[in-house]
Amino acid sequence: MSQKNNPYAEAANKTDITVGVNIDVEDVTNEPGENETLEMIDEERLTRLCEEKICPNCRLLAQVQDEKLRMAADTENLKKRLQRDKDDFCKFATESVLENLLPVLDNLDLALEHGGKTGTGKELLNGVEMTRKLFLDILGRHELEPLGQAGEDFDPNWHEALAQQPHPDFDAGKICQVIQKGYRLKGRLLRPAKVLVSMECAA
């Protein structure tokens, strides 16, 4: 490699006025039993010498290193975000399927509610109740939880208030009637419970 084509060789043979660091030719030529010239110095050694004597004071190198650190941080953040997205996808992959099954639960609830009022078809109601319980047990394995029960505190995070009405059996702010049950999947709201909320009775 010639000195003309090697920038490290030029740097090793002169004083860098910009950074104020001298490179002595003896540093790169003085080895026992050898009388090397700059042209004979291999690129690896010149690179090492340049890094030791010039690069520590090089503003351009500092900028490049800073950019490398920022790129590494951005890459790490991207990897974490992609992993979170993957985890969420796997965690809630069944969300749309379970949401489509909620009307089935609603119809079972209505069948039990209206069948209980008529007092007929007791055996049929028992079968519906068993079917509903089995259905809920299966959905519970996927961490689907029902929301909304009379007597609970109203929570706008999980409940949707359709109206307020005075009720002698419940304190103000309690759920006094559930119009439609709600559900959440693994802590995420799937459907809010539609409820009536009690209010203070007039004196």
- The residues, ordered by sequence, that sit 6+ positions from 144 with a Cβ below 8 Å of its Cβ are 98, 183, 184, 185, 190
pLDDT at 114: 78
DSSP-derived 3-state class of residue 54: coil
- pLDDT at residue 77 above 70? yes
Q: What is the mean pLDDT of residues 15-42?
A: 48
CA distance 152 to 158: 11
- The whole-chain average pLDDT of the chain stands at 77
- pLDDT at residue 86 above 60? yes
CB atoms within 10 A of CB 115: 17
94-150 pLDDT, tens per residue? 788 888 888 988 888 888 887 766 666 777 888 888 988 888 888 888 889 999 999
pLDDT at 158: 95
Q: For the chain, what percent of residues have pLDDT higher than 90?
A: 25
For the chain, the domains span: 7-57, 95-199
Q: What is the mean pLDDT of residues 2-26?
A: 46
Per CATH, the number for 95-199 is: 2.30.22.10
- Pairing relation of β-strands 182-185 and 21-22? unpaired
Helix (H) and strand (E) counts in the chain: 6, 10
pLDDT band at 198 (very low <50, low <70, confident <90, very high): very high
Global confidence as pTM = 0.56
pLDDT at 34: 47
